[in-house]
Amino acid sequence: MSPIIEFDDVTKVFESPSGPVRAVDGISLSIEPGEVFGVIGYSGAGKSTLVRLINGLERATSGRLVVDGDDVTRLTEAQLELKRRRIGMIFQQFNLFRSRTVAGNVAFPLKVAGWPKADRDRRVAELLDFVGLLDRAHDHPEQLSGGQKQRVGIARALAAQPHILLADECTSALDPETTQDVLRLLRKVNTELGVTVVVITHELDVVRSIADRVAVLENGRVAELGTVFDVFTRPTADVTRRFVGTVLHDRPRPADLDRLRRTHDGCIVTAEVRDGSTLGAVLGSAGELGVAFEIVYGGIGTLQDRSFGSLTLALDGPDAAVDALVERLRAVTPVEVAS
């Protein structure tokens, strides 16, 4: 099956008073039909430009970008307008019409597309039921909570039965509990309607809650790309390590290591913990080697219902026995020995 979105060496350059700015710099990546794909990066990484390239709100300076079978870099403005009707988009600030009711907001893109009123009314009722707001159809946006407004935004984005849904920082204005409600709804959109969802965010918790794969952007380039579990349990790029560090403080910093050395005798080692790890079985053999151990630092988190993190251990015993236990640990997981 061909990718539903494919970037091939795509660059977007903006002119500024200080000279050209490469907001997107030679990006190549593919998004498969039916997946939830996360794009994460700090402010200025190029995330929003990337998503605006997908729906043609920005034109690529160079490269090839195929979206649902069409190279959008070659489409006319009229063709792009038709294309955008099949690409739903939800926003951080909801972008609802205050003068329209909930039902009126959802119906608006259908009216623009020329749907007959009876068909519009049927589709609006179907979508409001899907997002759990059928009883609020005649309310106006100011009567809704932030989470309810975003549900209306999702319903409106789905109105014209898009194959792709773009979510640009769609939870940044919401509290943590409401964020999880919205993310569960987006996963429902993906699993029940088969819509490919592209989530743009600067929040690792959003990606780890919903995405199948993720691209980490930095300075307009892809710093890292892969499954969410692989990218965030074994990050190779500094920017990815910074993201992981904001969520899981599982490895001791230099100051922590200095403190541990002062308060614990023996060897200080940090062992990686991954789902299905046999680390526990190896540590269970420490006694037979004559090694005592104590967990002195660490943290375990979950991604896609799988565990990851690390444990820092103080190993105390004869040097040869400690070395033997470290080798047993290294046979099952990466291990760092503090110098």
What band does 277 get if pLDDT is binned at 50, 70 and 90?
low
Question: Measured between alpha carbons, how far is 326 from 332 in angstroms, rounded to an integer?
Answer: 10
In single-letter form, the type of residue at position 286 comes to A
CA 242 to chain centre: 15
| Angle, in degrees to the nearest 10, between helices 146-158 and 176-193 | 20
What band does 281 get if pLDDT is binned at 50, 70 and 90?
confident
Sketch the domain layout of the chain as residue ranges: 5-246, 254-337
Quick one: DSSP state of residue 5? E
Determine if the pTM surpasses 0.85.
no
pLDDT tens digits for 291-328?
999 999 988 877 777 778 889 999 999 999 999 999 99
Sign of the four-CA dihedral 275, 279, 280, 282: positive
Q: Which two structure tokens, joined as six digits, stand for 153?
A: 């935004």
Phi then psi for 78, rounded to 5 degrees? -65, -40
CATH of domain 254-337: 3.30.70.260
pLDDT tens digits for 253-270?
889 889 998 998 889 999
In single-letter form, the type of residue at position 172 comes to S
Phi-psi sector, 161: left (phi>0), alpha (psi -120 to 50), beta: left
What band does 4 get if pLDDT is binned at 50, 70 and 90?
very high
Q: Three-state SS for 242? A: helix
Kindly state the average pLDDT of the residues 15-39. Answer: 95
Give the number of other CB atoms < 10 A from CB of residue 243: 24
Any idea of the CA torsion for 78, 79, 82, 85, to the nearest 10 degrees?
-110
Please say if the pLDDT value at position 275 is more than 70: no
DSSP secondary structure letters along 266-286 = SEEEEEEEETT--HHHHHHTH
What band does 337 get if pLDDT is binned at 50, 70 and 90?
very high
In single-letter form, the type of residue at position 244 comes to V
**Over pLDDT 90: what percentage of the chain?**
72
Beta strands in 46-127 (DSSP E): 62-67, 70-71, 87-90
**Over pLDDT 70: what percentage of the chain?**
98
Question: Measured between alpha carbons, how far is 252 from 245 in angstroms, rounded to an integer?
Answer: 11
Q: Which two structure tokens, joined as six digits, stand for 225?
A: 């790309």
Strand order in the sheet with 62-67: 19-31, 5-16, 62-67, 70-71
Please say if the pLDDT value at position 174 is more than 90: no
Strand order in the sheet with 306-316: 292-303, 306-316, 267-274, 335-337
CA 112 to chain centre: 32
Is the domain covering 5-246 a CATH 2.70.98.20 domain?
Answer: no
pLDDT tens digits for 44-94?
999 999 999 999 999 999 999 999 999 999 999 999 998 988 899 998 888
Check: CB of residue 109 under 8 Å from CB of residue 154.
Answer: no
Q: Which of 160, 159, 131 is nearest to 144 (CA)?
A: 131
Question: Measured between alpha carbons, how far is 316 from 265 in angstroms, rounded to an integer?
Answer: 7
Q: Which two structure tokens, joined as six digits, stand for 171?
A: 């939870």
Residue 251 has a pLDDT of 81
Question: Measured between alpha carbons, how far is 292 from 175 in angstroms, rounded to an integer?
Answer: 45
Cα 317 to Cα 239, 289, 331, distances in angstroms: 38, 9, 20
What band does 276 get if pLDDT is binned at 50, 70 and 90?
low
Give the number of other CB atoms < 10 A from CB of residue 122: 12
Q: Which two structure tokens, joined as six digits, stand for 261?
A: 């050395």
